[in-house]
Amino acid sequence: MAGLLYTVTASLLLLPLIYPAQAFTSGGIGLSLGHRLKCWGIARSLPTPTRRTIFHSPVGKRIQMANVIIVGFDPSVVDYSKWPDLNPEKLLASLEENRVLVSELGHHVDDCMVDLGETAESRLTKALKTKDYDCVILGAGLRTSEEHFLLFEKLLNVVHEHAPKARICFNTNPFDTAAAVQRWV
């Protein structure tokens, strides 16, 4: 028993030495899930989960893939005068980049782009009924604009009703969605 414990402990301590480029996340607090999946060579072979798919790492740790949905304004309805450095092309590019980054963390990602309120609630309700989501990200554009406060409140209640077990995450801009997911999933 002591020999097995020593082997596992030594393996965990040697991981940063074996994979030095992937040893620490940007926060410097250990191997990130995306890096571990890449190091173990299973990141590209992961199936799309219907609910949490559980994998076992080489050191016996359970890895869970989460279903994540990113809720935000459709780029065609955004008022870009508030964000002079942002335009529809940059927003679309950042949304796709976020999608890839969250996928690289080992999660399945869906988008739910909403309008300014005409069909936003019904669209989100329909999306949340398609599968069980483990994480719902409500974009900064929904949250930070005073004129969209009531819409944000309505959408938050839709999430509460149709995905009561999901973690709710908030990004601060279109470029830090993956960090929001990492905080809660």
Q: What is the mean pLDDT of the chain?
A: 76
Give burial (CB, 10 Å; 0-12/13-18/19+) of 89.
exposed
| Strand extents, DSSP E, 23-145 | 54-56, 62-64, 67-73, 108-114, 135-138
Which residues make Cβ contacts (< 8 Å) with residue 48, sequence separation at least 6?
A: 108
Query: What is the DSSP code (8-state) at residue 22?
Result: G
Instruction: Compute the average pLDDT of residues 123-149.
Output: 94
Q: What is the pLDDT of residue 30?
A: 41
Q: What is the pLDDT of residues 161-173, one digit of tens each?
A: 999 999 999 999 8
Instruction: Compute the average pLDDT of residues 6-32.
Output: 39
Distance CA 101, CA 112 (A): 17
Query: What is the DSSP code (8-state) at residue 25?
Result: -
Which residues make Cβ contacts (< 8 Å) with residue 122, sequence separation at least 6?
A: none
Q: What is the pLDDT of residue 173?
A: 86
Would you call 134 helix, strand, or coil by DSSP?
Answer: coil
Closest CA to 70 of 49, 51, 94, 90: 94
Q: How far is CA 181 from CA 113, 135, 150, 167, 169, in A?
A: 18, 7, 24, 9, 7
Q: What is the pLDDT of residues 52-90, one digit of tens each?
A: 545 444 555 555 789 999 999 999 999 888 888 889 999
Count the neighbouring beta carbons within 10 Å of the beta carbon of residue 51. 14
